[in-house]
Amino acid sequence: MKKVTIILPAYNEEASMDRLRECMDSVVRDNPAYEWEFLLVNDGSTDNTLQQMIRLHNEDPHYSYVDLSRNYGKEIAMMAGFDYATGDGVIIMDADMQHPVDVIPEMLRWWEEGYDDVYATRKNSGETWFKRKTSQWYYGLLQSFTNIPIQRDTGDFRLLDRSCVDALRRMREVERNTKGMYSWIGFHKKGITYEQQQRQQGKSKWSLMALVNLALNGFTSYTTAPLRMASVMGLIVSLVAFIYLIYIIIVTNVYGEPVQGYPTIMVTMLFLGGVQLLSLGIIGEYLGRVFNEVKGRPGYFINSYNGTREHVN
């Protein structure tokens, strides 16, 4: 019998735990052809999430838990999930149960057909015009910068074959954009759609700033094209400046016209200053990533895996 691990990263989700259990019970009930493991990853919750996980683990052998040493963020929590998952396949779901369990049979079906990465795409219902448009522009822009096909409106809700999990486990970067990594590793992909559920308990952990960070991260981890853009911009500006220089020399020497000083200098200086700051900022973005990677630290530490402190890797 094939074993499937459901990875459930959770940060302050004590209110969702009862519902989570109901959903997982129904997964076991509806898919008896598989052996199930539910791997709860406690991402440094400050409420009783951990206690609830320990209770689940003690009451039901399907549940395992990893308790991270602090809050690392969902990306790292998933990294820990990949490390500790023991299944032949892995499904990643949000612990707040916004991802419906009833698409799991369909995922399993495609997996049996030979697909390695069955990803679930949100049906865009009930989202505001603004949110829809910004996400559309963002994906469009991102895609134009890279050759790797990007799956739109797709999050982490997906089934991964062991081969994908092993591939992802070899990518130990700590500045993670897992979405980009799924695309990068390739393998046979199949998209299905699902209706995103309303969050029932607790509240979303994404602030506006966090979303902006995520968007920037998406760019800098997918592609180094902005760096190239900075060079091209520099080249164009220099070229224009050079042509302008020739023009001024001709105008003053041949026609004897006095050059308008202040406005021209101001405009050029401000423009160049802006371009330089922008380019520096772009370089800084990448430098920051290099800085964090080059330290070579492990992505996370754990307090406990099912009550022991052993580390698997």
- Range in contact with ligand UDP (rule: CB under 6 A) among 71-79, 113-121, 229-237, 255-263: 71-79
Q: Is the dihedral of CA 180, 185, 186, 190 positive or negative?
A: negative
Closest CA to 75 of 292, 294, 287, 308: 292
Say whether residue 43 binds ligand UDP (CB under 6 A): yes
Say whether residue 177 binds ligand UDP (CB under 6 A): no
Rounded to a whole number of angstroms, the minimum distance from the CB of residue 125 to ligand UDP is 16
Q: Which residues are paired to 5 by β-bridges?
A: 37, 90
Residue 158 is given by DSSP the state: E
Say whether residue 196 binds Mg ion (CB under 5 A): no
Partner in contact with 71, chosen from Mg ion, ligand UDP, none, beta carbon below 5 to 8 Å by kind: ligand UDP
Say whether residue 98 binds Mg ion (CB under 5 A): yes
Say whether residue 73 binds ligand UDP (CB under 6 A): yes
Q: With CB under 6 A, what is the number of residues at the site for ligand UDP?
A: 16
- Range in contact with Mg ion (rule: CB under 5 A) among 61-69, 98-106, 135-143, 160-168: 98-106
Q: CA-to-CA distance for 63 and 40, rounded, in angstroms?
A: 7
Q: CA-to-CA distance for 257 and 278, rounded, in angstroms?
A: 35
Residue 259's identity, in one-letter code, is V
Say whether residue 201 binds ligand UDP (CB under 6 A): no
Pick 78 or 167: Cβ nearer ligand UDP: 78
Q: Is the dihedral of CA 181, 185, 191, 194 positive or negative?
A: negative
How many CB atoms are closer than 10 A to CB 278?
14
Among 52, 98, 177, 183, binds ligand UDP (CB under 6 A): 98
Pick 75 or 94: Cβ nearer Mg ion: 94
- The angle formed by the CA atoms of residues 35, 118 and 148, to the nearest 5 degrees, is 145
Rounded to a whole number of angstroms, the minimum distance from the CB of residue 237 to ligand UDP is 40
Largest CA distance in the chain: 93
Q: Which residues of the chain form contacts with ligand UDP (CB under 6 A)?
A: 9-11, 13, 43, 71, 73-74, 77, 94-96, 98, 204-206
